[in-house]
Amino acid sequence: MSAPVETADVRKQQLEGLGARRKRVEDARFTQGKGNYIDDMKLPGMLFGDFVRSPHGHARVKSIKKDAALALPGVKAVLTAADLKPLKLHWMPTLAGDVQAVLADEKVLFQGQEVAFVVAEDRYTAADAVELIEVEYEALPAIVDPTKSMAPEMSSALRFL
Amino acid sequence: MSKMHIKLTVNGRPVDALAEPRMLLIHFLREQLSLTGPHVGCDTSHCGACTVDFNGKSVKSCTMFVAQAQGGEVKTIEGVAAADGSLHPLQEAFREHHGLQCGFCTPGMIVRAYRLLQENPNPTEAEIRIGIAGNLCRCTGYQNIVKAIRAAAERMNTAKEAAA
Amino acid sequence: MIPGAFEYHRPQKVDDAIALLVKHGEDARVVAGGHSLIPMMKLRLAVPAHLVDLQDIAELRAIRSDGGTLVVGALATQREVIGSEPLASKCPILRETALQIADPQVRYVGTIGGNVANGDPANDMPAVMMALGASYRIRGGRGERDIPARDFYRGSLVTALEAGDILTSIRIPTPPQGHGYAYEKQKRKTGDYATAAAAVILTFSRDACSSAAVALTNVAPTPLFATAAGEALVGTRLDEAAVAEAVRRARAIVEPAADQRGPVDFRVHVAGVMVRRAIQRAKARAS
């Protein structure tokens, strides 16, 4: 870090009153690339995760084939809602007071929804494992117009289970 | 997926490593060399947070395979300060002029600005804005980044004149 | 956003690169600057098992003036095009266009060959090459041939390149001294692809237009050479009536996709505006 330019007296003077000019304490690190952001963290034995995501906005998940992914060296686990269910972790409470599926539970409710989670030794292996997981979907109609979704006959279509 | 022998120079030091050819340069730097200064921002080659200086060019390291860097010279933000640890005028100027808030774009921004000032040691404000068009910042609105780069240029040019 | 695995090759000569492409067929792709290909590989939309890196092949980089022809090596980067003295003085539309492509980092690495050869309708240089009447020198399994830019583009990402072909250089008939030129590009932000763009090359002196070529970017599955629009200008004073007719004819042939850059009728409108502005600027520059 470069040496402070002001003397203690000058700094004390500058501390008084509105508009006193202060430098941030973190900029020295950030301008040298020593920020320690989340992705910068490196811990021994650290594992990497990646998701299989649904291309469909609304679909039934008929089957998930994990074998090829699990056989890939470096893959530690492939999790689906079925794995979370016995632990009662497949739906979790949100801050909005409702519940949300952690991984798609028999049905996909939005495009991009997480269907399976791969855990592997490095991010390249995790990404390769994602490609090896085969999900069979039965595509269902998706209502994307909010006005239409409010029609009385739609209310039964909004059941989650 | 067999690995290849990669030899290159990073921040002035020779590097000898094994990596898959498909490994993106950004991941090689961050994960294999533990140089976490350059960041993965958008991963779609837009934001420039991954910018490094490669063979005298500003390059988005998320859009380059480490295999393509074979035999080359890479400078990351970690290589911008002098060998004795004293900060580059750009690093001091960014601090002085509040050219950062969260700091995530900053390594890429400074490494790009470093090359910009090599290309054009006395850029106008407009030339700076065009010159950093490949580096996106969500926090600052760019005003103070431009000021910082301008201030660094002035300081570097004054020092050059004084030395001459 | 991790690419699939591949075997990496870095040949030193064009013929070695071609041999690799011929050997591996559909499984091989060349990489120049990589700023179109690598993003596709990261999305796994392109999964070549073999990557042939052309960066060491020196003969692909040269830019030179050869009699009445400008020869631009396929591996010349956009930045090298911008900085080239012969190109700036003899064919300034290239510099004007390159400055509107992407951003400084991409221009350091992205090549003019990649920009014209991959058949992406959003790339800027193809329309410029069409307007210039340029041709592409291709070397491949069956030797060397030249294909005019105007005949090169078959569909989105589909070109006249056959398996084993490599674009080695672009050959541009040097435009006449005093020619008018312009590349007008509308985009949402600096660095974006075109909502619509127009390239115009014309000759105009003593109030008469003796030649004109108009081409369009990103308003169809391929770049478009607007033959009829150019014809509407030849023999005229480039007055409002002639310009309006050229614009009308250009608009008639565009078929832009509706996307994040706007609905179809908006992009057709912008195409017309770009043609108009390009003609006007080319006229102002002509002598």
Is the predicted pLDDT of residue A160 greater than 70, yes or no?
no
Examine residue A14 and state whether it is found in any structural domain, yes or no.
Answer: no
Distance CA(C242)–CA(C233), nearest Å, equals 6
In the predicted structure, residue A161 carries a pLDDT above the cut 80: no
Instruction: Tell me which of A131, A132, A133 to substitute to probe the interface with C (most C C-beta atoms closer than 10 Å).
Output: A131
Q: Do A123 and C5 touch (CB under 8 A)?
A: no
Q: Give the closest residue to C71 by CA, choosing from C82, C60, C57.
A: C60
Is the CA virtual torsion C139, C144, C147, C153 positive or negative? negative
User: Which of the four pLDDT bands, split at 50, 70 and 90, describes residue A158?
Assistant: low
Is C191's CB within 8 Å of B44's CB? Answer: no
The per-residue pLDDT for C244 is 98
> What's the pLDDT score for residue C104?
98
- Provide the chain C residues 61-80 that lie in CB contact (below 8 A) with chain B: 79
CA distances B86 to B36, B75, B121, C8, C12, Å, are 20, 16, 21, 40, 42
Across chain B, mean pLDDT equals: 97
Sequence-distant (6+) residues with CB within 8 A of C39 are B44, B45, B63
Does C12 lie at the interface with B, CB-CB under 8 angstroms? Answer: no
The CATH number given to whatever domain includes residue A81 is 3.90.1170.50
Alpha-carbon distance of B94 to A23, in angstroms, equals: 11
Residues A16-59 pLDDT 10s? 777 777 789 999 999 999 999 999 999 999 999 999 999 999 99
- Is A123 an interface residue toward C (CB < 8 Å)? yes
Q: Which amino acid is at C280?
A: Q
Tell me the average pLDDT of chain A: 90
Query: Do the domain assignments include residue A94?
Result: yes
Neighbouring subunits of C (3+ Cβ pairs under 8 A): A, B
Residues β-bridged to residue C22: none
Given a contact cutoff of 8 angstroms between Cβ atoms, the answer to whether C169 and C72 are in contact is yes
- Is A107 within a domain? yes
Q: Please answer yes or no on whether B46 and C191 come within 8 Å at the CB atom.
A: yes
Identity of the residue in B22, B51, B112 whose CB atom sits nearest the CB atom of C3: B22
- What residue ranges of chain B are covered by domains with CATH 1.10.150.120? 89-163
Cβ-count burial of C277 within 10 angstroms (0-12 exposed, 13-18 middle, 19+ buried)? middle
Residues of C with CB under 8 A from a CB of A: 1-2, 4-5, 44
The pLDDT of residue A156:
62
Q: In terms of Cα–Cα distance, which of C165, C247, C253 is closest to C212?
A: C247
CB contact under 8 A, A128 and C44: no
User: Is A21 inside any structural domain?
Assistant: no
pLDDT tops 70 at residue B61: yes
On whether residue A84 sits in a domain, the answer given is yes
Which of A31, A34, A122 has the CB atom closest to B95's CB atom? Answer: A31
pLDDT of residue B129: 98
C-alpha distance from B67 to closest chain C C-alpha (Å): 7
The one-letter code for the residue type at C69 is T
CB within 8 Å: A124 and B20: yes
Q: HEC profile for C235-263? A: CCCCCHHHHHHHHHHHHHHCCCCCECCEC
Pick the CATH number of B4-79 from 1.10.443.10, 3.10.20.30, 3.40.50.10090, 3.40.50.360: 3.10.20.30
Task: Select the residue of A2, A33, A124 nearest B37 (Cβ to Cβ).
Answer: A33
Residue B91's closest chain A neighbor by CA? A31
Residue closest to B135 by CA, chosen among C191, C95, C83, A37: C191
Interface test with chain C among A122, A124, A132, by most C beta carbons within 10 Å: A124
Tell me if residue C270 falls in helix, strand or coil: helix
Question: How close B142 comes to chain C (CA, Å)?
Answer: 14
Q: What pLDDT, in 10s, does the model give residues B124-142?
A: 999 999 999 999 999 999 9
Per the domain annotation, does A13 fall within a domain? no
Q: What is the pLDDT of residue A6?
A: 66
**Confidence class for position A10, pLDDT limits 50, 70, 90:** confident
On chain A, the residues whose CB falls within 8 A of the CB of B37 are 32-35
- pLDDT surpassing 60 at residue A2: no
Contact call for B98 and A24, based on CB within 8 A: yes
- For domain B89-163, which architecture applies? Orthogonal Bundle (1.10)
Residue C103 forms contact with B (CB below 8 Å): yes
Q: Give B-chain residues touching A73 at CB under 8 angstroms.
A: none
B148, amino acid identity: A
Q: Residue A117: which domain range?
A: 46-143+150-159
The number of beta carbons lying within 10 Å of the beta carbon of residue C203 is 19
pLDDT band of A157, cuts 50, 70, 90? low
* Separation of alpha carbons C173 and C70, rounded Å: 6
Q: Is the pLDDT of residue B55 over 80?
A: yes
Closest CA to C282 of C172, C128, C134, C72: C128
Domain assignment present for A91: yes
Number of domains in chain A: 1
Give the residue-averaged pLDDT of B83-94: 96
* CB atoms B21 and C51 under 8 Å: yes
Of all residues in chain A, the one with the smallest CA distance to C42 is A127
- Chain A: list its partners (3+ Cβ pairs within 8 Å): B, C
From chain A, pick out residues whose CB is under 8 angstroms from the CB of C5: 128
> Measured between CB atoms, does B27 come within 8 Å of chain A?
yes
What residue ranges of chain C have pLDDT lower than 70? Answer: none
Would you call B14 helix, strand, or coil by DSSP? strand
Chain A residue closest in CA terms to B37: A33
Note whether residue A35 is domain-resident: no
Contact A2 B39 (CB under 8 A): no
Instruction: With beta carbons under 8 A apart, name residues in chain C contacting A128.
Output: 2, 4-5
State whether A127 and C5 contact (CB < 8 Å).
no
Query: What confidence category does residue A5 fall into, taking pLDDT thresholds of 50, 70 and 90?
Result: low
Q: How far is CA C117 from CA B25, B43, C52, C54, C114, in A?
A: 25, 24, 15, 14, 5
Give me the pLDDT at residue C152, please: 98
8 A C-beta contact, residue A91 and residue A99: yes
Of C5, C103, C191, the CB nearest to B1: C5
The answer on pLDDT for A147 being more than 80 is yes
For residue A150, what pLDDT is reported? 83
